[in-house]
Structures are given as structure tokens and as C-alpha cells.
Chain A
Amino acid sequence: MATERSPVPLRLNPVDRHGKEINPAVLAAAEEVIPSALEYGLKMLRDPALVANVLEEVAAAVSRQMSSKDPPGEPLPIQNLAGYVFRGFVRRVNRLKSKQPPLVSSDGDGQPQTVRWADPTRALETKILVGECLAQLDFVTRDMFWRRAQGYSWRDIGKIHGLSGHAAEVRFRSALGRAQVRLRRGRRSLPSATRADQTEELKPAMQNDGEK
């Protein structure tokens, strides 16, 4: 496969990734602030998909707020809807950023972002978990993994596989849970000295990975 990769422009869905609907007026306001949101969001979060998700979530929250407070037919109490959405976006991005694990390196060349945790043990454990998951998931749950990684809602994922959103989520989570249990059992079955040696052996390789 050697095709040219085409850049995908940022577009918002009328439903956020949790399946919450976005009011058309709020969606239009959110689309209006996409350039500013991208500029700020990419600086803070470095992932356009994450920026889009956050903006959609904020738009959905604003939509809910409007529908719960405004009687139908009344004018919107928010004077500057786009500004309101953008301020909500900034607050949520800042909150996410403050919760984000520390980054030790990143690249900003438009390629998918490099996110590494500063704690090498944590990074190693997560890599092993990801590998373990992918090795153990069946075709359907692995497809769910790909789509979830791309920010699909469980409802959308369920639709693709002929399931309800909830059933899809339950199926995926139980498969992931099984992978975690196997991973823990694998750890326990190793004598502690061997585990430590193994971790030491893996550390340099992981650090080299980090230098790539």
C-alpha cells in the first residue's frame, strides 16, 4: 500500500462521542470557533482528534444547558454563543491538560502525536497491556478497539456490529478486562527476581524507543 495520505479537515459531528446531541445553533457556533479552538487545542493537547472531541463535548454540554434552561420559543439568553462555546472549550482543555500525564517528548509535524509518559514503568505496562489486548481480542472487539481509538462513540461502534451501544461497550470492556487479568496472572507466575531482571532488560529497549 503506497498511497498519498490526504489531510483530513476538522469537522464536527452533530453528536458527541458519548452520543449526546448538539443543538444546530450550538454546532454552528462551535464550527465558527474551530480555527481558534484548533490553534489553542493543538498547542495544549497536540491531537486534532482530541480537540474535535472536546469541542463536541462542550457543544453538547451547552446544548443540554440551553434546552434545560430555555423555554421553547424564547430567545437564547447567551448573547455570544460562539464566545461562550470557546470559553467552555478553553476551560475543558485546561482541565484535561492539568490531568494529562507528563510528556517527555512529542513531535509536531502533523503526524499522529507522540505521547509518552515520563514514568517508564507506567509506559512499559501500558505498552504490554496494549499488546496483550490486541493479541487476545477477537476480530469484532479488535475492530471496536480501532474505532474507539479514533473517537467513535459506542453507539456508532454498536451500529457497525449490529449491537446496541451498551452491548458493544460491555463486550469490549469484558474482553479488555480478561486481557488485564491474564496480564496480571502472567506477572504473578514469574518469580520476583526474574520479573525485576526482565524489567531491567526491557528498560534500555524502551528508552531507545523513546529516542526514535
Chain B
Amino acid sequence: MARNRRREFSEDEFFGFAKSYLSEAFPNPQRIGCPADSDLMRMGEHPVEARDAATSEHLTHCSPCFKRYMEILAALKQQSSRTP
């Protein structure tokens, strides 16, 4: 997946790069247009397009929110692995 003409990178490399890039490319120090933490949490738990489309779109150009969302997803992943 994610190969270009020269089949240069694997899926892990692609997502690793994407994660690093999105974590720092859009600093947004004024936190313009950032959703509330609860919105990110809700989207992480149960994504619903009608409600969360703007929040998801925001993550594409806001590194602080992207990083926070990655943390939320990591925490949810751990939580779900502990519950049968």
C-alpha cells in the first residue's frame, strides 16, 4: 500500500511519516477553531459523520488537536483491549 512509482515505502513507513508530519506541520498556537476535548473524545468513541465531520476535517490542519486525538485513540485502544 501507499507505494509510489518506485514502491518506496511500506504501510508502516507511510503512517509513521504521516503521523510525524501531521503532529508538527500545523502548530496553530492560537488554537483557532479547535474543538472541545469532549468532541474529540466523542468522535474517538463513536464517530458519526453528521456530528463529527467538522472535527475530523479540523484534524487535517491542526497539529495540537491531531496529537490530542492520537492520545485519545491510544487510550481507547488500551481500554477496549482490557474489556472482553
Q: Which residue of chain B lies nearest to A1 when distances are taken between CB atoms in the complex? A: B34
Q: Are A114 and B24 in contact (CB under 8 A)?
A: yes
Any B CB within 8 A of the CB of A203:
no
* Given known contacts A5-B71, A112-B19, A152-B73, A14 and B37 CB-to-CB distance under 8 angstroms: no
Q: Are B77 and A116 in contact (CB under 8 A)?
A: no
* Given known contacts A115-B20, A139-B56, A212-B24, A126 and B14 CB-to-CB distance under 8 angstroms: yes
Contacts of A12 in B (CB 8 A): 81
Any B CB within 8 A of the CB of A92:
no
* Given known contacts A8-B71, A150-B74, A176 and B17 CB-to-CB distance under 8 angstroms: no
In Å, the complex CA distance between A146 and B57 comes to 11
Neighbour of A122 across the interface among B8, B22, B46, B75, CB < 8 A: B8
Neighbour of A143 across the interface among B12, B15, B17, B56, CB < 8 A: B56
In Å, the complex CA distance between A152 and B35 comes to 23
Q: Are B70 and A150 in contact (CB under 8 A)?
A: yes
Q: Which residue of chain B lies nearest to A49 when distances are taken between CB atoms in the complex? A: B74
Q: Which residue of chain B lies nearest to A212 when distances are taken between CB atoms in the complex? A: B24
Contacts of B1 in A (CB 8 A): 173, 176
Q: How many residues of A contact B (CB 8 A)?
A: 53
Q: Are B9 and A113 in contact (CB under 8 A)?
A: no
Stretch at the interface among A36-44, A67-75, A128-136, A194-202: A128-136
Q: Are B9 and A176 in contact (CB under 8 A)?
A: no
Q: Which residue of chain B lies nearest to A148 when distances are taken between CB atoms in the complex? A: B15
Any B CB within 8 A of the CB of A156:
yes
Contacts of B24 in A (CB 8 A): 112, 114, 212
Q: Are A152 and B17 in contact (CB under 8 A)?
A: no
Q: Are A1 and B65 in contact (CB under 8 A)?
A: yes
Contacts of A143 in B (CB 8 A): 43, 47, 56
Q: Are B77 and A1 in contact (CB under 8 A)?
A: no
* Given known contacts A11-B78, A101-B13, A151-B77, A1 and B19 CB-to-CB distance under 8 angstroms: no
Residues 72-98 of A at the B interface (beta carbon under 8 Å): none
Residues of chain B whose beta carbon lies under 8 Å from any beta carbon of chain A: 1-2, 4-5, 8-9, 11-25, 31, 34-37, 40, 43, 46-47, 49, 52-53, 56, 59-60, 64-65, 67-71, 73-75, 77-78, 80-82
